[in-house]
Amino acid sequence: MPTDEGTNEDGSESTEDEEDAFDKDRALKTIREQRKVEKAQGKELAELRKYKEAADAEALAKAEADKDLETKLAEAKAELKEVRAGQTSADVKADFLRVASLRGYEDPELAYLAAKAADVLGTPKDGKVGDHDFDVLEEQYPKLASEAGDKRGFGSGDASKKGRKAGTTVNDQFNSVVRRQMNR
């Protein structure tokens, strides 16, 4: 008579006692299969760990390279700023020396140093240097005013000169040429 317990592998009906019986071969086979699966999973896990370590190392190297690039970029920007400041300073100096020479200063370099100390140099804007304040410079350093004034007509008795604010004009140049020719 069949029982409710089930059937065996071969199709025969099993009893409760047979199911409780331990099948050693079947258990060993199951354990071996599980160990094979665990061994394969262990190998896969080891490979995945290697890939993760390589990816982490690559990410760290990339982060360090990015940091190095940021540092180099900051250094390059600072250097560029210094170069631009130096160029601006050179432009201001060249403009001052040119104007000081036109104004008759014997030593434009000395006048530049005095102007720099007095903070009367023109400021650069849009690639052009603003006007230098020679009036303040000559008030603070009267010797510069007398040295430049002699060349511009101060003390020469030339009544056509309008003072130290006036530079050499075309009319002044024409008058000096005519006077030189008449004195020959």
Report how far residue 136's alpha carbon sits from residue 36's, in angstroms, rounded to the nearest whole number: 96
| Region of residue 102 (left: phi > 0; alpha: psi -120 to 50; beta: else) | alpha
92 band by pLDDT with thresholds 50, 70 and 90? confident
Residue with tokens 């200063």: 105
**What 3-state class would DSSP assign to 128?**
strand
| Dihedrals phi, psi of 151, to nearest 5 degrees | -80, -20
Evaluate whether residue 15 is within a structural domain.
no
Evaluate whether residue 67 is within a structural domain.
yes
**Cross-strand bridge partners of residue 84:** none
pTM over 0.85: no
Residue-wise pLDDT for 30-47, tens only, equals 999 999 999 999 999 999
Report how far residue 182's alpha carbon sits from residue 184's, in angstroms, rounded to the nearest whole number: 6
CA 7 to chain centre: 82
Evaluate whether residue 60 is within a structural domain.
yes
Residue-wise pLDDT for 55-77, tens only, equals 999 999 999 999 999 999 999 99
Mind giving me the DSSP string for 46-68?
HHHHHHHHHHHHHHHHHHHHHHH
Evaluate whether residue 173 is within a structural domain.
no
Domain count for the chain:
1
Q: Which of 19-33, 64-78, 84-98, 139-153 has the lowest mean pLDDT?
A: 139-153
**Domain range for residue 152?**
24-168
- Which pLDDT does position 36 carry in this prediction? 95
Evaluate whether residue 174 is within a structural domain.
no
Evaluate whether residue 5 is within a structural domain.
no
Evaluate whether residue 17 is within a structural domain.
no
Evaluate whether residue 147 is within a structural domain.
yes
